[in-house]
Structure 1
Amino acid sequence: MLNINTQVIEIPEPMFRGWQQTVELIAGIMNLPAALIMRVHHSDVRIFSSNDTANPISSLLSESKQLSCYSAQVIYNRAAVLIEDARLDSIWSFDDNVNADIMAYYGLPLTWPDDQAFGTLCVLDTQAREFTPHCKLLVARFQQSMNADLAVLYEKAELQQANRKLQNLLTKKTMALSLSHQALLHEQDSRSALESTLIYQQEYDALTGVANQRSLVQQMESMLKSVDDENELAVIYLGIRNFKSINNSYGYDIGDKVLLEVSQRIHQQLTTEYLVARCWGDSFAIVVRDEIVVEQVIDLISRLTDAFESTFLIDDFTITTRVCFGIALAGSAADKGISLVEKAEAAMTANKDKGTHYNFFTEELSAVIGERHYLESHLAEALDKQEMSVHYQPMICVKTQQVLGAEALIRWHNPILGAVAPDRFINLAEQNGQILALGNFVLRTAMKQAAQWRNSFGDDFCIAVNISPVQLRDDNLVSRVAQLLAYYQLPGSSLELEITEGVLLQDEQKVTKSLAGLKKLGVSISLDDFGTGYSSLSYLQKYSFDTLKIDRSFIMNLMECEQNKELARAIIAMAKKLNLQVVAEGVETPEQHQFIVDEGCDYGQGYLYGKPVPATMFTSQYLSRQAI
């Protein structure tokens, strides 16, 4: 058996370039600051990264002890290492070398055929993040490809060594080299095919198969160069007014099928001269180019409107959609594609608010686009700049009016923007992917504060935290809650997680698993905004809740609307029959308070009892005074 010294095997330049392209593709598709390959135990350690030297993470990679620890673990165990939040990871959070400079890491081993370590293929981030099964599969596919490359190089090294020792076997050596070359070509072909697939995924929407917004904008750039009086261009932005209602009523799987049918109906009204793309969610963009583009746009909108008059028949459901349109016209060849798409979107959004059918972009709408960009630019750094805080609203026992807990609510104060209302930035965070980081920030901050209050004012205090759909889909939610409970020495009963019906419409299997895991920890589960959804009663049968929160819309008009009284009365009575605690939200008057007391409601929340305030004010206003 030949003893191959893998330390002297050099990586061919074509393969080097192929690996460089690989990590760039991985980083681009996964939207990560760095993906890299490290070769260990070698005088010339190579790092292939997708970032340029101007990126702050470049210097971090060259001297990070944390990165070395992670990679050493991968190589030592010949197994993957997955870390989605180093501060909360039970293995790494206590390591002296871990100083939280790399918050998220996923690494796989690269090995020679004789099991000698070549190094690692890994992706990382300076912020905590979830690595989805799709992301893991993507990295694993490239690991397999690179290990195959190493196998080819190893085989070539074996053949070269055998050639030096066995000159008389020239024929066999030549045949082996030929086979090795064919294998290398085969792997290169496989990688090329995989790269083509990845490029497709970057340019096209996976659900509908049409182009995505990025691809559409790229195609528009060349079209805009020829815009003049005889060659006009317009963008139509199509949105579905009731798509959120469709998702809430029928579930996300049905919603996806509706979007696929929407895409097909759009295509049926277009010729090859049009460009169409799915931008995000329920929105599609169509590019129209013609000598008299306004007439073409209005004609196309009329045909699309007629096409959507017909109902959708999906999985035995009959579904009606209501569409609206925004239109932006290119003024000159100097216009930018992304700017036109944003203008058309702003026109469509204004159209939704007005309830009209279609709307042209006007300069008055520029402020809408500017505000969104301005808000998003500040939101991106809000957590790092410690602009986010958590306020607490008291939850009281309606019979004794004693404060038994608090609901944790995120607040954002920016030095320039001032106090930004949650309804202005929460939806934006959900669109740009920041909602998981914000949700985890609230959860961690609230549990830390709850531990302090329980130590000072008694062990009965409970903190309630809202959980977003993104958090509930996170495979690490249960383990993260368990780690925080252990770290702050809190019992599970000290935490109540509030979820809405919209959360329950996600992947049912994953929701069931997450809720079951949380219940095992002793965490209470509350169904928030009860009574406003489509299938609230069915969820009481399907899931094990501890608390119902009556939506504030039923409480606000109790004294003016007899129907609201009856509905609130029925909800409280039903909850009692099911042995559930009941919280009434939005209590603002003594009359509303007296009603929920008379009906046997357990807890109240609203401005009558207290507004959301910072932790120090909550302590002085509600806890210190109560403890006297």
Structure 2
Amino acid sequence: MAAKGLPRVLWEDFLDRSRIGLFLVDAHQRLQPVNPAARDLLGRSGSAEPIPPEQLPWRFEANEKEPVPRWPWERLVDRAAPQPVVEETLNVRDPWQRPRTLHCHGVARDGIDEAGPKALLAIEDWTAVRAAEEERGFLLELLDALPDYIGIADTRGGMLYHNRALYEAQGQGGSGSFLERLAGAHDPESFQRLQNEAVPNAEQTGIWRGETRLHHRGMEAEVPVEQFLIAHRDEHGAVVRYSTLMRDLSQRYHHESEIERLLYRDPITGLPNRMLFHDRIEQAHALQEGSADWLAVIVCDIKEFSAINESLGQDLGDEILAAVGRKLRELLPQAATIGRMGGDQFGVLLPWLADAQEAMGYAERIVDKVGNPLALSDRSIHLSLRAGISVTRHSGESAGVLVEQADAARQQSKRTASRCQFFSRELTEQAREQVYLTTELRRALDSGGLAVHYQPQVDLRSGEWLGYEALVRWHHPKDGWISPGRFIPAAERAGMIHHVGEQVLEQAGRQFRQWRDEGVAPEWLAVNIAAPQMETPGWGEQLLAFLNRFGLAPEDLELEITERLLVERRTEVATELAYLRRHGVRVAVDDFGTGYSSLNYLTELPVDRIKIDRAFIADLTEDPRKVAVVEAIVTLGQRLGIAVLAEGVETEAQRQVLLDVGCRQGQGFLFARPAPA
């Protein structure tokens, strides 16, 4: 037997390899196996003899539809009413009474002699398939009953499956690519994590686990979830689909929050208790390890609080404590941690301070404003507070030590009747100087007490004066001359550097205009600019407006900016500097070579001149290594087309060395000291 037009060998190979059992059915309804799969179904792997219906290894059970069961192929060979084609799925039992599922497809044969086969029958064992379908159905029922959000999608974003929970949260989820589906299902931060971390990790290792936030459209909320993302591969190793399971963490977070509140929060104020406050200090220590920033702890209390508590009652005393906690939160920066240490004592942790004096400013704010007055539910009262401060830049002191030091300083302030007290006498004096300088500098600004001195910048070969640097000076009526190194940092900390800069520009601009009118003006006027001045939006436009007001051209001005400012705030200053430079303003890097090894900014930012820091010039004639450094800087400037000027030139020998290494511009006492116009 061979198919028409098909080689017999190929046809026989097909029959041998087929998993479907092929049978011939004769007029007596006997089944004759044609291929190995058919013989296996009958349990007669070595026999090809026809099998009558009563000897078949299956039992076809009766049912309501067919009380007297008939095998489907019986209808093919029925002499009275033969049926040309049958297709039916049978549920039978094998000799061991195990349920089996057989799928039958048969066709009657026409034009065949009476003795030949009457029908051709194909039977396939679907038992495993049906079992798998049932298992799949059970599994889908289970997944639908779970509260977890479960979904499967192909790599093109086609949704292959979602359980009921995910459908309630996302609906069909829209259309688009796989990443677009992720973007629509999560908040932006979670999507970035999934895109940059989860998908690559799942594709590399098979599975990723992390926490994200699911956008739940049904609840109109962002739900925190623990998410699993699995990448599934085909037999060739290519990723073909992704599955995800997301478990709602809202309840867990709520329970954890409640446990934390009970363990670590003060029940009256809601602030961290002493245990949590100490933990926050240790965390801040770890984060700031190796940093040059300061960390401060302030311990403050309410004067005569026990008397207030006794006279007004404990309930009102608790209300006062809660109100003080709220006022502290209002007055202090977001980075601060405020805790209740017990009784009427509060602790304040201030990380990432630029200097120790900054802590004194916050302590002053606390004692000045917390109780002046304090609003309660039915009245306002005036309270007085005192504070002790401990500061550190090192991780050696434990949280307990810092709190003890701050509390000792608080007790000292109580004994000395002062409002605030540093644990260290030296830092107390520094903080007091900050307050003193701030007060006196404000008076000097109001009265025009700041002066501008000028120092020439010269051609080292000819001695010609090329430009002037404007330098601010302050002569105090009692203390005499106060150095810029002392009052400029105080002005920056107090937020007054803008006003100092404005007065310097005002005086220098007026003087340069006068020199221009007299015909003795140099080529440029160099003015230092501090970081806070550059934080004002549109400061570049304001600077050009200032030049216009004095009738000066942008080419007349050179801005001197420290190397540290250029490196630390490159992004913020680059746009404004480029804007000014397009209008003709020059840009110089002051204090070049002090503390930064990256020179990349010289190629990215608009720079016209490099000023070699005086530290390299001081002993230039005695130290060959410094000569080499200066020569390298000069060569760098020449290669980049940037002028190089040496600061602090004080001797003829230094000038000669600078000329020998190719430096052509200088500034220092050798030529002139800073002096008034």
TM-score (norm 2): 0.43
TM-score (norm 1): 0.46
The structure where strand makes up a greater share of residues is 2
Q: Which structure exhibits the higher relative contact order, with contacts defined as CA atoms closer than 8 Å and separated by 6 or more residues?
A: 1
Say which one has the larger Rg.
2
